Structure 1
Amino acid sequence: MTDSIRQAVKRRIDELGKSQAEVARSLGLQRQYLGRMLNEHVGEVPESWQQLLDALNLELYVREKPSTANSQKS
């Protein structure tokens, strides 16, 4: 993932008032692995996709999903 996506995910975790440990637990991941995903180059965009995006002058980004009654979780 790109640094901007990592930063957006970190901000969202903070906005939701959750810790990385809570998020990791909810995903069945170890906290250390989630930390590496957010702080290191773990889970990179596959090189062929990055090359394609670069060639087309495109980039990945994250945005919040629109809220719907069916997609809300407690």
Structure 2
Amino acid sequence: HYQHYIQPITLWFDDALSAMRSLKGIGATHLHEGRDPRILTRSQLQRLQLAWPQQQGRYPLTYHLFLGVIARE
């Protein structure tokens, strides 16, 4: 028997770089095999900011917190 709950937590940032730094701060740095490990160039960061969905000029970053309990009977 188990129970689970998923709670979305959205943080808001003034720019995409701040959101990405937040991800790095929690250790969410995953490099795909064959990917260039260098940081983004200024033009790549600008393209990312244009592609990132914004609300009222702010950049949302949503985590999905998963809480679960498994009980043995």
TMscore range, shorter length:
0.3 to 0.5
TM-score (norm 1): 0.41
Which of the pair has the greater relative contact order for Cα pairs under 8 Å at 6+ separation? 2
Q: If each structure's helix is expressed as a fraction of its own residues, which one has the higher value?
A: 1
Q: Which has the larger radius of gyration?
A: 2
Instruction: Name the structure with the higher strand share.
Output: 2
